[in-house]
A and B are shown apart, each in its own frame.
Chain A
Amino acid sequence: MADPLFEYLQRLGDDSLILAQRLCEWCGRAPSVEVDLSIANMGLDLLGQAQLFLAYAGEIEGKGRDEDALAYHRDAAEFRNCLLVEQPNGDFAQTMARQFLFSLHRELLLEALTASSDTRIAEIAAKAVKEVRYHVELSSDWVIRLGDGTDESHRRMEEGLDWFWRFVDEMFELDALETELASSGIAADRRALRGEFDRRMTEVVERATLEVKPSQWPLSGGRRGRHGEELSRMLAEMQVLARAYPDARW
């Protein structure tokens, strides 16, 4: 079994990396220049967070792998991101629904991690939480605007959220590994964040004149490397150059 801290840092880093990669797919294709700018902005924040967490992960592992080795030379089953972030972009409503659900959970998690007994994690979290707070604001605004906009946007936002309810529970799962890390004050207790998440999420969804529809059959497995069909295709694109020229430095 790998070092639990190494595992945990991959989870934190991969969530950011995979979502950043999805946001990159929007580049030059957003509904307006302003939206393109804001998506790029979130993508940059997430990439930065991924670099910090994965660099630290590599150090903890102690096998000479840096953030690029982890990002570009692991296969899908070695990725530890939650299922939500790997889901395809869909339309703009779907992308914002995903962004909203992820960012809100992430803000609460990072807030808790600013008190981590691991000072490096606490430092990264302190920097990242400010960025993610803004992502929550931006994506909440879009959920509300689209939900309470036109009939079409209302329908699309509803479908966007409905697509993702089944992936929410996984973000609050606390497995044995995180339970142990949480008991030593390194990790945060994800279950303790759920109440606040539900409260704030419901508030936004209701302002968007939409409904929260919890999933009867939540999906999970990302933390153990059990991903959906889309991740390996996404990684094939992301990793193509690095894999084609393994000796090259870029």
Chain B
Amino acid sequence: MYTTEMDKKAADAGLAQNDAEDPAKVARFEERVAADEFIEPNDWMPEAYRKTLVRQISQHAHSEIVGMLPEGNWLTRAPSLARKAILLAKIQDEAGHGLYLYCAAETLGTSRQEMIEALHSGKAKYSTIFNYPTLTWADIGAIGWLVDGAAIMNQVPLQRTSYGPYARAMVRICKEESFHQRQGFDLLLQLVNGTPEQKAMAQDALGRWWWPSLMMFGPPDDQSPNTARSMRWRIKRETNDELRQRFVDATVPQAELLGLKVPDPDLTWNEERGHYDFGEIDWAEFYAVVRGDGPLAKERLKARRDAWDQGAWVREAADAYEAKQAQRSLAA
């Protein structure tokens, strides 16, 4: 999640030659990873491992930051003070997640500046889900319940990912994600027990967020060529389809509890498999959103660029002040 894997093929092709690294070092690395040892910043690692990680972690970081926008869209209109405070605290957590993740990625030798420039130039990706609009207050519930719910599915296994700083960031993040999911579910529970308009709002939100949430797990396994290597390197611990299935299995009963209808006519419990069968995802839409053709893709990126550009003078001033202070303490 948060990693769309679209640009993987191109990037990895260029890395193939680097795989001809010192075979002894590679073997030692593979051995350590296979033994579930953590790889730390100063340890030797194959270039492809480093690049894949930087891409994955920075995409995750960007997703946390861009993800503040759709929720922030309702912050000023939150209908009670308690809800406003919960939402603000939640968005603040996401900013914190972005920060932990940028720091984790920086340990791999890429600066935050470079990562942010890659985001703003459209080179780096973020989760497709945040390019969908939040149209009603119920969307805030749907995001917490489904989007953070999907995030948990994906991130819990990443607490055991092979790169130490990433795994440790995930431990901190996962602690907060369950609060995010609960507040979303609780918000919707209040709506479905409320007025007919509120209940309709909740149903409408599920109708719009269900499929994009399933897309968060990325392309199907047979179109995800690097899964095998990422699994071997413990950058990924379960496949996209496995995680997606687990999400559906966990979420459908919660929808029933809310009395809401999942917008999938093919959704049925499969006794034999012990899982829900569900309908085909609209992969054409998924790839379009990944390409940047999502409903609010341009607006999200513009909002991030504007914030960054409009804040440039502040960051410059902070640097200038720090430099002056350093000089002063030297002179003193």
Contact = CB atoms under 8 A, between A and B. Distances in A.
A28 B68 contact: yes
B76 A149 contact: no
Interface in A4-19: 17
A3 interface: no
Contacts of A27: 68, 72, 75, 88, 91
A247 B195 CA distance: 8
Given A29-B307, A71-B81, A145 B68 contact: no
A30 B99 contact: no
Interface stretch (A34-42, A105-113, A120-128, A167-175): A34-42
Interface residues of B, number: 48
A248 B320 contact: no
B46 interface: no
Interface stretch (B153-161, B233-241, B279-287, B309-317): B309-317
A148 interface: yes
Given A67-B81, A145-B318, A44 B310 contact: no
Contact of A92 (B84, B137, B314): B314
A28 B80 contact: no
B34 to A, nearest CB: 36
Given A28-B72, A242-B79, A248-B194, A148 B321 contact: yes
Interface string B61-72: 000010011001
A47 B82 CA distance: 9
A124 to B, nearest CB: 15
B275 interface: no
A220 interface: no
Given A40-B92, A237-B76, A250-B83, A33 B65 contact: yes
Contacts of A48: 85
Contacts of A34: 99
Interface string B290-322: 000000000000010011101111111110110
B84 A47 contact: yes
Q: Give the interface size bracket for A toward B.
A: 35 or more
A50 interface: yes
A242 B91 contact: no
B95 interface: yes
Contacts of A33: 65, 95, 98-99, 102
Contacts of A93: 314
Interface stretch (A79-87, A150-158, A189-197): A150-158
A245 B201 CA distance: 12
Contacts of B95: 33, 36-37, 40
A53 to B, nearest CB: 11
A51 B88 contact: no
B88 A68 contact: no
15 contacts: A17-B81, A24-B75, A28-B69, A29-B72, A30-B311, A35-B314, A36-B92, A40-B89, A47-B81, A47-B84, A47-B88, A48-B85, A93-B314, A153-B313, A250-B194
Given A29-B310, A44-B92, A240-B77, 9 more contacts: A27-B75, A28-B72, A28-B303, A31-B308, A34-B99, A72-B79, A92-B311, A237-B76, A242-B80
